[in-house]
Structure 1
Amino acid sequence: MQAPSAARDHVSLEVSLGISHTDDGLVSTIQKRMEEASSLVNICSVPEQLRWGNERHYSPELVSIGPYHRRNQTLGDMENHKLRYLFTLLNRNPDIGLTLDKCVKSLKELENRARRSYEEDFGLSSDEFVEMMLIDGCFIIELLIKCSSKTLRRRNDPLFCTPGKLYTLRCDLVLLENQIPLFILQRLFQIVPIPKQCSHSLIDLAFRFFKSMIPGEQEYLREKLSEEAHHLLDLIHHWLIPANYTKKDAPTPKGLNKSVVELQAAGIKFKRSVTKSMLDIEFSKGVLHVPAVRINQSTETLLRNLIALEQHRCIDTQCVTSYAHLIHDLMPSEKDEKLFSERRMVSNYPDSNKRALRLFEDLCKDTKIEDFHYEELGVQMNEYIKRRKCSPLKCDQKTDPSDQLARKPRALVVVAIIVLFMIFIGTLFSALSFFLHHN
């Protein structure tokens, strides 16, 4: 039975558009078009201003997932490998044809929803689109399964035998333009036969696969496993969002304009934090706690694509963009980078040809930030500096130099000794002069 409110909405729509009750087909078509127009696009292309000069961090090097780089001929070698993984996954069921049929029918049901996840149409037929979702989705699932258990890998599998292949695959699978909807992966995971050696959920398998790329305490991140994400990159974004994050109702400007060298001179101390997410930067009792970050190619690729995701308004949080701007504000010079390095809050891997200073400078270029997550952090540090400057001890020292000396007993003793020594020297010279004159 149709709910009263839904019925009223249906009638009001018909009346406002001048449609009679007999035109149900047209009403249904318009409703469908409205639903499609209001659907959230969450897999989009990287903005051109971010891509320029950094193409390798936004384009896959080994495997194409989804429609954006589907026609890239340099990635053709992996297509046969994806088909082998598809066969391996489906062949665990004796009736491979039945499993394949279930997968195709399920993906057909989800096709329109999946298409609306993308920013572009790509001109793919229904069969082409569903085939792409099937092959790419099953490849990802089989890859996650093999990574969870060595017993499920073939000895001659080049993805595991060739040095650097798995590393490159991880980088490829976090690219914004190299995603398929998470609900596609979840539906396939429910249908395909999962080996007994693998008892993990899809989300847990993804966490195990990407955890080496994600800075932070593993147990803390594991507690945040969520199925609400739109795709694998968005899943990582969910893991990184700080526990104390709250969405601001209005734009929040950056409130910090001091580097770490300036903050240190103002009395603030720095300590490396070994817990929580990379983004959990906190200020407490005059100490700024900063989780360590290690800079290598995968770190840069991950950060760049998370920022691209935030910049395209695919999601309504800007935590990673805020983090990049904060670190850049704290570390604008080599002196600041050196202080960060000495505190082991930032380090460069040997395979990285870019220093942290330059990386965060580049990450902030051409990025807009409306929801600065660390606004309160800046307020706390600025208030601490003001209180420290205006403490009773410092105010007294500025207004009365004699009190400043009186508050330092050691300095007073030193001054007294110097005065007595000068008096002694003066007396000695006077006596010598007297005797020499009379002689």
Structure 2
Amino acid sequence: MEIGSTSLEKPGMNKDHVSVQIMNDDNYLATSIKQKMETISLSHNVCRVAEELLKGNKEMYYPSLVSVGPFHRGRVRTMEDQKWRYFNTLLSRKPNTEAVLDRCIHALKHAERKARTFYHDRVDLGSDEFVEMLLVDGCFIIELFLQCSFRSLRRSDDSVFSTDGTLSRLTCDLILLENQLPFIILDQLFHLVPIPSHCNMSLIELALYFFRKLIPGYSSSIPPKKFGPEIHHLLDLIRLLYLPTSPQTPPTTAQNSMNHATQLLKLGIKLKKADADETPLTIKFANGELKIPPLKIHSCTEILLRNLIAMELSYPKCPKPVASYVVLMERLIKTKRDVRLLHEKNILILDGYGREEEILMLFKKLCVDVNVEEFYYRGVCGEINGFQARKRRVLWENMRYFYHRTHMGVVLFCLAVGFLVLVFTAGFISLIAFLLHHFQ
């Protein structure tokens, strides 16, 4: 018998058929590989926001009502009691609260190493404190989603739903990059805690309904299977709904400049709202039409875009579609007339929030440095510039043909030259008269 194996035999039976070997080395290798796979897939999915983004804008990245996860633990105390109330409500919805609590603690203890790997910075919390944080914060989020979806679960005096602005501020806090829990922890808890019998929604469906204000073209029929198995956290869930659905247009040149909206219109390019089923970042140009999906501007828009950009910038080698989108919109919107035009085309939906000046400044404030290689819409800009160049060439050729091949063209050309001579002569005489009058 080999070292590291066990042989079980029954008397009178063929040894070849009853020998069971447990290879300790193989088990160790399988465990090691599994741990490496988990470490790579979960590693650093929540990073700190870059220092250059924080300068003068901390309120866009730090929670104002509720802290979730370790990075801002203890910074905001406003909702701490509410967290525990929601935690108690969720676990006490059915009998055997202690049994449910034990199952949750056991599962989270088992998942603790994975959850710690999820954060870029070292988490200075003991095992019990860390697991308690995951449990209370996770159950708070699940109960919040449930009460948002089902009015019958709410208390009439619950300040979250009865106080103006509270739910909106909570929504903003739960999309902050530094204020996240691993989605795998939320999903694990969701399958352990007692969910009301009349709730036939998955965790993803509950989350999408809660964040529906942030999701252009939200529909309750969005299939959860669309997202695949790897959702990092709630901000990442929303990001997946924003990403372009069509392949990136291959760039023809390194140029990424573009005229603003009213100039494009003058140059014969039509601006159109994209189809309702397109994601916000799916921008296309074809046959002289620039199609842009609608963007609803509301109280969470700036916070959402800022944190999506911060998430992209934390992964240096990944594409930057959100940052590129902000750069493209900043180039399109240079004047209040541009804002007005995009609003008239239903590309910008103001929804009573913000004046033209504020929308104009919004994209200027959001705009970050994106180099040519990272700029996602290089291909779109190249196609627009190429279209304009072709149109100018055609116009010039038509003018040349008209002036050089027709009698009327010759006459008009002579009249134009004569008119320019008269204008120049009149201007010259006026200048001489002015100088003589002032120097006499």
Per the TM superposition, whether the score is higher than 0.5 is yes
Could you tell me which of 223, 229, 232 is aligned with 2:231?
Answer: 229
For residue 313 of structure 2, what is the aligned residue in structure 1? 311
Q: Distance in 2 between matches of 1:140 and 1:53?
A: 29
Q: Distance in 1 between matches of 2:218 and 2:130?
A: 38
C-alpha spacing 1:344/1:134, structure 2 compared with 1 (3 Å): same
For residue 116 of structure 1, what is the aligned residue in structure 2? 117
SS at match of 1:191: coil
Asked if 1:294 corresponds to 2:296, the answer is yes
Asked if 1:166 corresponds to 2:167, the answer is yes
TM-score (norm 1): 0.78
For residue 260 of structure 1, what is the aligned residue in structure 2? 261
Greater CA drift, 124-133 or 366-375: 366-375
Could you tell me which of 379, 391, 398 is aligned with 1:388?
Answer: 391
Q: Distance in 1 between matches of 2:370 and 2:106?
A: 42
Q: Deviations over 1:388-421 (max 9, x none)?
A: 1222x640313542657859xxx99xx9xxxxxx
C-alpha spacing 1:61/1:370, structure 2 compared with 1 (3 Å): farther
C-alpha spacing 1:305/1:282, structure 2 compared with 1 (3 Å): same
Is the CA contact 1:107–1:134 (under 8 Å) kept in the aligned structure 2?
A: yes
TM-score (norm 2): 0.78
For residue 199 of structure 1, what is the aligned residue in structure 2? 200
C-alpha spacing 1:315/1:189, structure 2 compared with 1 (3 Å): farther
Q: Distance in 1 between matches of 2:275 and 2:296?
A: 13
Q: Distance in 2 between matches of 1:217 and 1:402?
A: 58
Structure 1: 4+ residue segments shifted above 6 A:
22-37
Alignment root-mean-square deviation, CA: 3.3
| Superposition deviation, residue 165 in structure 1 | 1.0
One-letter identity of the residue aligned with 2:386: E
Q: How high is the sequence identity, in percent, across the aligned residues?
A: 39
One-letter identity of the residue aligned with 2:264: L
For residue 69 of structure 2, what is the aligned residue in structure 1? 66
| Superposition deviation, residue 307 in structure 1 | 0.6
For residue 94 of structure 2, what is the aligned residue in structure 1? 93
Q: Distance in 1 between matches of 2:106 and 2:132?
A: 11
C-alpha spacing 1:33/1:107, structure 2 compared with 1 (3 Å): closer
Is the CA contact 2:255–2:382 (under 8 Å) kept in the aligned structure 1?
A: no
| Superposition deviation, residue 277 in structure 1 | 1.6
C-alpha spacing 1:301/1:86, structure 2 compared with 1 (3 Å): same
| Superposition deviation, residue 116 in structure 1 | 0.7
One-letter identity of the residue aligned with 1:165: T
Q: Deviations over 1:82-104 (max 9, x none)?
A: 11111111112310111100100
For residue 419 of structure 2, what is the aligned residue in structure 1? none
For residue 4 of structure 2, what is the aligned residue in structure 1? none
Could you tell me which of 37, 42, 47 is aligned with 1:44?
Answer: 47
For residue 105 of structure 2, what is the aligned residue in structure 1? 104
| Superposition deviation, residue 215 in structure 1 | 2.2
Greater CA drift, 36-45 or 98-107: 36-45
Is the CA contact 2:66–2:79 (under 8 Å) kept in the aligned structure 1?
A: yes
C-alpha spacing 1:30/1:282, structure 2 compared with 1 (3 Å): closer
Q: Distance in 2 between matches of 1:91 and 1:369?
A: 55
Q: Distance in 2 between matches of 1:179 and 1:313?
A: 17
Q: Distance in 1 between matches of 2:327 and 2:406?
A: 41
| Superposition deviation, residue 193 in structure 1 | 1.1
Equivalenced residue count is 386
Asked if 1:326 corresponds to 2:303, the answer is no
| Superposition deviation, residue 76 in structure 1 | 1.4
Greater CA drift, 259-268 or 330-339: 330-339
For residue 272 of structure 2, what is the aligned residue in structure 1? 271
